[in-house]
Structure 1
Amino acid sequence: MKIAYIGTYPPRECGIGTFTQNLALAMTGKNHQGEKIHKRLIIAMNDYDETYTYPPEVKLTIRQEQQADYLKAANFINSNGVDVCILEHEFGIFGGSGGVYVLPLLHHLKIPIIVTLHTILENPTYTEKAILKEICKMADSIVVMNQMAITFLTSIYDVPSKKINLIEHGVPDIQFDKKQSKTEFKLKKKKVLMTFGFIGRNKGIETVIKALPQIIKTHPEILYMVLGKTHPNVLRYSGEEYRNYLQLLIKNLKLQDHVLLLNEFIDETELFKYLSACDIYITPYINEAQITSGTLTYAMGAGCAVVSTPYWHAAELLQNGKGRLFNFNDPDDLAYTLNELLDNPDKLKEIQSKALKYGKGIKWPKIGEKYIDLAQDILKSTKKEILNEEGTIIDPLILPPFSLAHIKRLTDDTGIIQHAKFGIPNLKEGYCLDDNARALLMSLMAFNQKKNSLALELMPVYLSYIHYMQNEDGTFRNFLSFNRNFLDITGSEDSFGRTIWALGYLIGNAPNDAYYQNGKLVFFNAVPNFGKLKSIRSIANTIIGICYYLKSNPADEEMLSQLKNLSSKLVTHYEENSTEDWKWFENLLAYDNGILPLALLHATQILNDDYMQSVALEAMNFLTEQTFNNGYLSIIGNKKWYVKDQERSMFAQQPVDALAMVLMYYQAFLVTKDKEFLNKLFLSFMWFLGENDLRMSLYDFDTKGCCDGIENYGVNRNQGAESSLAYLISHLTVLKAYEKLYQTKEFKAANPSKIMVSS
């Protein structure tokens, strides 16, 4: 078996690195004949700009904040005959917001994945929770180190218990004689208290120092040793402020002869020699939120009597007399506990004996065997699922329940607020025509498809806004401040086109005559401006609006002429820019790209123009090739777009682009009856729910809104109108597509027991 390990690794000074090294050695050591049992391949995480001289087993490194490195690592693992991958997960060692960059890596792996979770937060941020849930979904098995971790995963992160395995933290199989160690360190006449590990304020070392004056009154032979460097993150942002504070505290309490701060990262052999000289090991952490402690496990493995605050791992591990607990930030309680043990050597030896017995069961060779058994079980029972592109994969049961809660939150009696700070309306940004046009379209769809009463209630607000923003010449203003002041004279052509789309749809789908007449009035006031449009996206949006109008008014020759004229302009753009390897309307792929083929597909339905249809499908196929290389939708980023013969932009991916793809594939299905377009439609929709470059859901299940996009640091958590409306229109389109699919003879024949699902 060949195993890949992803984590930090020595010589990087990091507890996770030591764990990764020990686990790899335990799983890939030699048998009694001296033969290697399994092969190992290490992918080491580098922090920031640091580099390290790694041993030969490290075959590749990942720079923490370089997203491309993560995908290179996935490709490297996939192409090197690896059977299973073990990821050591800890917040802070992976790049992006909350460590999001690790998600694409896991998604691209084609082998089973075991994830060891070193930290599980009881009160995670939205991003931390979303990332950990996604990691757990992609993992074939999850390893935790105590029962509390299992409780957190099942109750907070909704992880199935059958996926979770409890394998305790291993300890090195190293033993030293206590008397010899004390003699070597010249501690023969000392009672040694010890704390080791990276130093930071959360360690609570000052609690021990403050307790010492009460202890040395009766035990003047006490020496408290603190072994460990300041944590690199603490050093980066606060320097040695905490260590200086401890040194000043030691001086003020006149404890210079009783406290030793050793500022070193000690190797394991030397560490266990110190632990063997230790009489009582102390972990004085200042709060309970510590699910795993390697230092605590090491102390137990070395047979130390442990005294600790009741953080989660300690409270569980020290049960049944294996150690003693004292209250958080309570020097008096610690002094009482230590004096009691020091005054009763038999009690102290009993605790040491129980700790040593426990430690024998968690030596690394035994822990390695448990991981090997787990990996072999997974390989026997699990095969990585690969997307099957045959058949139709559209599944409405995956969709979250349809909700207009966030849209209602964003809407007042003027219109829909265009921006939000997280899920809260940002009134400072006011309103815009684009979003109110989208909101009108969405509310019409929601009422027609679901008879949603709230949609009907909100609909006149959006239509009134559109009417209010129309100028006498039929053009529209776009922006309105929160106090209802106009912020422009004439809005963009894009906002004009989107409004015509919504009005055209309204004319064909009005809930009653009042809406129909109002929409028709505004629509025809705008018609004189159709021929003046220059922006191809405005032209495309306007084409779609005209097509919806013509579906209910097919005899309108003047509007047919407008459609032919605008469609011809779009085709001309394609002919002027298209080349053998660039089948597109411009020399770049920018924003809202799917709208361009979508418009011609709509026009094809009305005009029955075969050449126009061929242009639309050719452009659509080109766009598909650029955005579906990895089996999921990877939107052209709006940061720099994708200029012909240059590098495409990955970030500032926006929900409206996903919406355009959903609508484009739906229309392609209506025109061609090819069900493969429904597969692409559904995959495009799943971009919202995590099938994207970051493997993060943009839909917020709490607020019922949609995040504003994918940035290089992670998900943009603001949930403005544009993004949330894009999600809802896409959601409704998926349901409509499923309904159309259900109506086909082939689907009915293949699924005789299927019933309609309304999400």
Structure 2
Amino acid sequence: MKLAYIGTYPPRECGIGTFTENLTKSMLGIDKQGVQHNEVLVIAMNDGNQKYIYPQEVKLQIRQEQQTDYLEAANFINISGADVCILEHEFGIFGGLSGVYILPLLHRLEIPLIVTLHTILDTPSYNEKAILKEICKMADKVVVMSQKAILFLTSIYDVSQEKIVLIEHGVPDIHFDRMDSKKEFKLTQKKLILTFGFIGRNKGIETVIKALPEIIKKHPDILYIVLGKTHPNVLRHEGEEYRTFLQLLIKNLHLESHVLMLNEFIGEVVLFKYLSACDIYITPYLNKAQITSGTLSYAMGVGCAVVSTPYWHAAELLNENRGRLFDFNNHQQLAGVLNELLDDPETLKQIQANAYEYGKNITWPKIGKKYLHLSNSLLSFPKQEIYKKELVINLLLLPPFSLTHIKRLTDDTGIIQHAKFGIPNLKEGYCLDDNARALLMVLMTYKQKKEEQALELMPIYLSYIHYMQNIDGTFRNFLSFSRTFLDEVGSEDSFGRTIWALGYLIGNAPNDAYYQTGKLVFFEAFPNFEKLNSIRSIANTIIGVSYYLKTNASDEQMMEALKNLTNKLMKAYSVHHSEDWHWFESLLAYDNGILPLALLHSAQITQDPRVQEVALITMEFLEEHTLKDGVLSVIGNKKWYIKDEERSFFAQQPVDAMAMVLMFHQAFLMTGEKEYLNKLFDSFMWFLGENDLRLSLYDFETKGCCDGFENYGINRNQGAESSLAYLISHLTVLQADEEFYQSDVIENHTKRLQPESL
């Protein structure tokens, strides 16, 4: 039998990775003669930009936030000859909101699927619940490791009990003599208390440290060893703050000779020597919501006397005198429990014996046989028929997302607005429009992909915007390469695009410094909102205000401003529309999709059905004139399209295609109608050659986007506006694909309002 596994894998330092490695080895089916009967292949999950040198069983890697990697993995598994796929599921190791990127992979699998759930939440968020339910629907069998997990799956996630299989967490079949281990570590004169695993604030190690002074009064030979590195995610975002806190606590309580913190990720052989040497093992976790604990299982497997807080797995596993429980954060109670056990060696030995007896039944060879039996049982039946969503977006057609050209255009002042082919044209300097678009793009990039490059670029664009703001809240637009102002007040369009970016920033800032700066500039500009006359400036400002109100819904003054701006756009429609011309002007000019997009955003916030009706009518009118048979033909900027005259096909620009992508995306979010995803993707493919010239504007060599096409062909210059339009559109496609697979979320999303007659 050939088995495919999806999960983290060593040398990545991760508990799930260790589990996956042990499971694969236990399922090789090696008989007494040493013959291997099964073949394994591993699809390893990578975090961030980390790279690992994997062993030969790892055949493919998935970068956590790269959606196309998941699709390529599905194709690989389907043609690999694998008979069964086993997924190790844990929140946090898969990309997208609540790990949604795993859904398209599972959706495409053509072989039976077993899912092992390492975390099951009793109070999941809406997204967490919807995604886990979807995973369980696609699984042929769902493996859990405790009775509590079965209860949660059936009562909270509506999973059929017939689909659920209980297989305990395995432990390595490694054993050492207790006294020999103590001698090796020179601990024969010590009573050893041990905690191991990744270190983070939820581990509650401070509870044990606070309990030690009371214990030392009776047992001065106590040594508490904390064995484990700081969790990589904690280290990445918080550094060693928690470890430093613990070390300071140890110093303040004068426990330096009684606590040893070993900042190591050690192999299983050495780990089991420490476990064998310890007298009492402690898991002092701070939260009950842990359905499975590998460290607890390991301690039980060795035969440790375990003392633990009553998180779910511990409360179940320590039944029948296999350990002792104490309340969360209660160091006085812990001190009493430990003193009681240390005072009574016979009781301690009995608990150790009970744990050892239990542990004999959960060694990896025995657990592996259970998984093999389960896998074989699935081969006897055809893969379950489940509802398959029709795929509307093919991410494999997209080039890899890259900020290479944007970095090339960006210096420490801002993004250069123009380029000669793929080279920055420094003579043209900078403009506010492009730095606002650039800020929006890197915010979207960091939110979706967590790319550090985006975080590094963010303050450059934000500081440019701040620098260009006048004392009255308006903005200058143009700045020369020598940092000389080239205008006193920029265009209304540049003002509106800036408010869009700032409104998005306020709702999606990666830290407080960026949030506070963005909010300051936004509100300095606020008095100028009511002065706007250009409908595109009004539209861009509406979008920015709408993003602001998504996270500040109680701001009545801003809500009133949104309604006033919306009324201006609605008035423009009222003045210019006729029976055969459903538009805001007597011509279709540039950036047209922004106008219906703005009304869609406004309707989402104000819940005004009349606004949404105009948005949909004008969107359909624009679509009628630009999208035919799945090919987008945006209005050319040569002559535009004046009512009752011929439309222009040349000087088509990327910013217009971007507006169409964003417009259809917002329509999908508002209505849940899948047809808009088709139109969104068709609009995006304009960049990649599905256009009037059938030529790609995206440059696969420079990673930039050409400025458009003329009657002579492609305009090969790759300025900021065009490249940013492409990247924003690319990110929107990725986001739409993610939202599509959150089917339950989408079905209950903001419903289309019932329109009134105009």
Fold match by TM threshold 0.5: yes
Q: Given that residues 289 and 312 in structure 1 are in contact (C-alpha distance below 8 angstroms), is that contact kept between their aligned partners in structure 2? A: yes
Q: Pick closer, same or farther for the CA change 1:151–1:635 going to 2, 3 Å.
A: farther
Contact 1:476 1:496 in 2 (8 A): no
Map of 2:78 onto structure 1: 78
Q: Higher mean Cα deviation, 89-98 or 361-370? A: 89-98
Deviation at 1:356, TM superposition (A): 0.2
Secondary structure class of the residue paired with 1:153: helix
Correspondence for 1:244: 244
Q: Is contact 1:590-1:642 (8 Å) kept?
A: no
Amino acid at match of 1:471: V
2:550 corresponds to 1:421: yes
Aligned to 2:723: none
SS at match of 1:301: helix
CA distance 1:477–1:259, change in 2 (3 Å): farther
Instruction: Specify the alignment match of 1:284 in structure 2.
Output: 284
Distance 1:587 1:332 in 2: 65
Structure 1 residues 422 and 117: alpha-carbon distance in aligned structure 2, compared to 1, 3 A threshold: farther
Aligned to 1:375: 375
Task: Name the residue aligned to 2:623.
Answer: 537
Matched, 1:173 2:253: no
Q: What SS class does the counterpart of residue 85 from structure 1 fall into? A: strand
Does the C-alpha gap of structure 1 residues 108 and 255 become closer, same or farther in structure 2, counting only changes over 3 Å? Answer: same
Where do residues 106-145 of structure 1 align in structure 2 (5 Å cutoff)? 106-145=106-145
Aligned partners of 1:637 and 1:652 also within 8 Å: no
Classify the secondary structure of the residue corresponding to 2:378.
helix
Verify: 1:696 aligned to 2:742, yes or no: yes
Identity score, percent = 55
Contact 1:637 1:654 in 2 (8 A): no
Describe the superposition over 1:240-293 as per-residue Cα deviations: whole angstroms up to 9, x where unpaired.
111111111111111111111111001001100110101100000112111111
- 1:328-367 aligned at under 5 Å gives the runs 328-367=328-367
| Residues 468, 80 of structure 1: alpha-carbon distance in 2 compared, 3 angstrom cutoff | closer
CA pair 213-85 structure 1, distance change in 2 beyond 3 A:
same
Q: Tell me: CA distance 1:426–1:299, structure 2 relative to 1, closer, same or farther (3 Å).
A: same
- Structure 1 distance, partners of 2:594, 2:362, is 69
Q: Structure 1 residues 639, 304: closer, same or farther in 2, change over 3 A?
A: farther
Matched ranges for 1:439-458 at <5 A: none
Render the CA deviation track for 1:478-500: whole Å, top value 9, x for unaligned.
99xxxxxxxx998979799999x
Q: Within 1, Cα distance between the matches of 2:620 and 2:134?
A: 44
Q: Over residues 658-701 of structure 1, what are the superposed CA-to-partner deviations in whole Å (9 max), with x where a residue is unaligned? A: xxxxxxxxxxxxxxxxxxxxxxxxxxxxx9xxx97852127556
- C-alpha separation in 1, matches of 2:127 and 2:663: 29
Q: Deviations over 1:175-218 (max 9, x none)?
A: 00011111111111111100000011111111111111111111
Name the amino acid aligned to 2:623: R
1:673-692 mapped onto 2 (5 Å cutoff): none
How many matched pairs? Answer: 519
Query: 1:379, CA displacement in angstroms?
Result: 1.9
Indicate how the Cα distance of structure 1 residues 113 and 210 shifts in structure 2: closer, same or farther if over 3 A, else same: same
Contact 1:639-1:652 within 8 A present in 2 as well:
no
Partner of 2:521: none
- Alpha-carbon separation, structure 2, partners of 1:259 and 1:334: 16
Q: Residues 432-485 of structure 1, C-alpha deviation per residue, up to 9 Å, x if partnerless?
A: 89999xxxxxxxxxxxxxxxxxxxxxxxxxxxx979962388699999xxxxxx
Structure-1 residue corresponding to 2:732 = 652
Q: Distance in 2 between matches of 1:434 and 1:495?
A: 17
Change (3 A) 1:81 1:247: same
Q: CA deviation at 1:639?
A: 10
Find out whether 1:226 has 2:226 as its counterpart.
Answer: yes
| Corresponding residue for residue 508 of structure 2 | none
Corresponding residue of 2:306 = 306
SS at match of 2:752: helix
Deviation at residue 54 of structure 1 after TM alignment: 0.9
Q: Which runs of 5+ in 2 are unaligned?
A: 391-544, 598-609, 628-640, 651-655, 665-673, 699-725
1:725 Cα offset (Å): 2.3
Instruction: Give the corresponding residue for 2:36.
Output: 36
Q: Which residue in 1 is equivalent to 2:326?
A: 326
Q: Distance in 2 between matches of 1:654 and 1:28?
A: 38
- Cα deviation for residue 540 of structure 1 reads 8.2
SS at match of 2:122: coil
Could you tell me which residue of structure 2 aligns to residue 725 of structure 1?
A: 752
| Contact kept in structure 2, 1:589 and 1:642, CA below 8 Å | no
Tell me: CA distance 1:28–1:535, structure 2 relative to 1, closer, same or farther (3 Å): same
Letter in 1 for 2:245: Y
Offset at residue 151 of structure 1 (A): 1.6
Partners of 1:387 and 1:311 lie apart in 2 by: 36
Q: Distance in 1 between the 2:307 and 2:563 partners?
A: 62
8 A Cα contact 2:300 2:356, kept in partner: yes
State the alpha-carbon separation in 1 of the partners of residues 658 and 241 from structure 2: 52
Match of 2:574 in 1: 470
- Code of the aligned partner of 1:226: V
Q: Distance in 2 between matches of 1:14 and 1:269?
A: 17
Contact 2:126 2:745 in 1 (8 A): no
What secondary structure does 2:321 align onto? coil
Q: Determine whether 1:189 maps to 2:186.
A: no
In structure 2, what residue type is equivalent to 1:697?
Answer: S
Matched residue SS, 1:193: strand
Write the deviation string for residues 77-132 of structure 1: whole angstroms up to 9, x where unpaired. Answer: 11110111111111111112221211111111111111111111222222222221
Distance 1:434 1:256, change over 3 A: closer
User: Partners of 1:469 and 1:593 in 2: how far apart?
Assistant: 17
Match of 1:635 among 678, 681, 688: 681
Query: Scaled by the length of structure 1, what TM-score is found?
Result: 0.60
Q: CA deviation at 1:364?
A: 0.4
Could you tell me how far apart the structure 2 residues matched to 1:495 and 1:432 are?
20
What root-mean-square deviation, in Å, do the aligned CA atoms of Structure 1 and Structure 2 show? Answer: 4.6
Using the alignment, how far apart are the partners of 2:78 and 2:272 within structure 1? 38
User: Partner letter of residue 10 of structure 1?
Assistant: P
3-state SS of the aligned residue for 2:292?
Answer: coil
Normalising by structure 2, we get a TM-score of 0.60
- Report the 3-state secondary structure (helix = DSSP H, G, I; strand = E; otherwise coil) of the residue aligned with 2:282: strand
**Secondary structure at 1:421 match in 2:** helix
Cα distance between partner residues in 1 of 2:94 and 2:577: 56
Separation in structure 1 between the aligned mates of residue 581 and residue 320 of structure 2, nearest angstrom:
74
| Partner Cα distance (2:305, 2:389) in 1 | 59
Tell me the equivalent position of 1:93. 93
Distance 2:316 2:129 in 1: 24
| Alignment partner, residue 477 of structure 2 | none
Q: Does 2:386 align with 1:257? A: no
Tell me the distance in 1 between the aligned counterparts of 2:554 and 2:135: 31
Cα separation, 1, equivalents of 2:593 and 2:27: 61
Secondary structure of 1:30's aligned partner: coil
Q: Deviations over 1:338-387 (max 9, x none)?
A: 11111111110110001000000000011111111111112212325488
C-alpha separation between the residues in 1 aligned to 2:357 and 2:258?
Answer: 30
Conserved? CA contact 2:286–2:309, under 8 Å: yes
2:166 and 2:248 map into 1 onto residues whose CA distance is 42
Aligned position for 1:460: none
Between the aligned partners of 1:59 and 1:89, the Cα distance in structure 2 is: 19
Once residues 276 and 12 of structure 1 are traced to their aligned partners in structure 2, the CA distance between those partners, rounded to angstroms, is 26
Q: Aligned partners of 1:205, 1:52: CA distance in 2, in Å?
A: 30
Are residues 65 and 653 of structure 1, via their aligned partners in 2, closer, same or farther at CA, if it must alter by over 3 Å?
closer
**Over alpha carbons, which structure has the higher Rg?**
1
Q: Determine the C-alpha separation between the residues in 2 that align with 1:143 and 1:153.
A: 11
Distance 1:590 1:178, change over 3 A: same
| Secondary structure of the structure 2 residue equivalent to 1:375 | helix
Alpha-carbon distance between aligned partners in 2 of 1:230 and 1:345, rounded to the nearest angstrom: 33
Letter in 2 for 1:537: E
Counterpart-to-counterpart distance in 1, 2:14 and 2:595: 56
Matched, 1:163 2:168: no
Counterpart CA distance in 1 for 2:276 and 2:359 is 13
User: Retained in 1: the 8 A contact 2:739–2:746?
Assistant: no
In structure 2, give the amino acid aligned to 1:652: T
